[in-house]
A and B are shown apart, each in its own frame.
Chain A
Amino acid sequence: EPEVTQTPSHQVTQMGQEVILRCVPISNHLYFYWYRQILGQKVEFLVSFYNNEISEKSEIFDDQFSVERPDGSNFTLKIRSTKLEDSAMYFCASSELGTGELFFGEGSRLTVL
């Protein structure tokens, strides 16, 4: 069964360092998303991406965050200068055109020290 894959599964970094989280969405999907979940809290929307541009972003997704689809398969989230409060599980998700069914990856756990 097709699935969304994410790497790394866990990354530990020092405050102020840059982090790149990678995702391979399901191959025929055209909508891509990043969500995050701080431990014990709700799943929060960060950004959506369609047709090689950001469709919508939340107030969390400030200038420190960026997304890119560098080739036909990968979708990346970059955090330029990590803060302690960026520690969370980051989920990539994708959706097929027009269906609204959203499929998640297993997540990348980011720990900022």
Chain B
Amino acid sequence: QKEVEQDPGPLSVPEGAIVSLNCTYSNSAFQYFMWYRQYSRKGPELLMYTYSSGNKEDGRFTAQVDKSSKYISLFIRDSQPSDSATYLCAMSVYNFNKFYFGSGTKLNVKP
């Protein structure tokens, strides 16, 4: 079983839609959870970071962590064509020695 599972997509939505991106994980020791946006041939850009269960909101983005189900989500409200990118989830145990990445979900927001 992979440490982190993420649906690769692609996910295609119209502009203005609410987007839901998800990851599941198997290691209950994961405590820190991140979402990254990666444009083609660029480095991953940190979008959201959380270390607890529950919701965290930043502008149009909401990160949700459910440790009991080992499930994390990223919601994008009022999606824009500029949101078209690959979204990566990542997570770590307490010591930050290694961050485990999902395979990424490719999102296309159509004008």
Mark interface residues in A94-113 (1 if CB within 8 Å of B CB, else 0). 01001111111111010000
**A109 / chain B contacts, CB cutoff of 8 Å:** 41
Query: Provided the pairs A43-B88, A43-B101, A101-B34 are in contact, do residues A107 and B42 lie with their beta carbons within 8 angstroms?
Result: yes
Query: Provided the pairs A100-B92, A101-B49 are in contact, do residues A42 and B104 lie with their beta carbons within 8 angstroms?
Result: yes
The docked-state distance in angstroms from the alpha carbon of A106 to that of B45 is 9
Query: Provided the pairs A100-B51, A101-B49 are in contact, do residues A48 and B98 lie with their beta carbons within 8 angstroms?
Result: yes
The docked-state distance in angstroms from the alpha carbon of A60 to that of B42 is 22
Give the total number of A-B pairs whose CB atoms are below 8 A apart: 63
Interface residues of B, CB < 8 Å — how many? 25
Shortest distance in angstroms between B107's beta carbon and chain A's nearest beta carbon?
16
Category for how many chain A residues contact B: 20 to 34
| B98 & A56 in contact (Cβ 8 Å cutoff) | yes
**B88 / chain A contacts, CB cutoff of 8 Å:** 43
Shortest distance in angstroms between A30's beta carbon and chain B's nearest beta carbon?
10
Tell me, yes or no, whether A89 is within 8 Å of chain B by CB. yes
Tell me, yes or no, whether B90 is within 8 Å of chain A by CB. yes
Which of B44, B46, B90, B104 has the largest number of chain A CB atoms within 10 A?
B44
**B99 / chain A contacts, CB cutoff of 8 Å:** 33, 45, 93, 102
Tell me, yes or no, whether B43 is within 8 Å of chain A by CB. yes
| A103 & B46 in contact (Cβ 8 Å cutoff) | yes
**A45 / chain B contacts, CB cutoff of 8 Å:** 98-101
Shortest distance in angstroms between B88's beta carbon and chain A's nearest beta carbon?
6
Write the residues of chain B forming the contact surface with A, with a CB cutoff of 8 angstroms.
31-32, 34, 36, 41-46, 49, 51, 88, 90, 92, 95-104
Write the residues of chain A forming the contact surface with B, with a CB cutoff of 8 angstroms.
4, 31, 33, 35, 41-45, 48, 50, 55-56, 58, 89, 91, 93, 95, 98-107, 109
Q: Which 5 A-B pairs have the closest CB atoms?
A: A100-B32, A56-B97, A104-B43, A42-B103, A43-B101
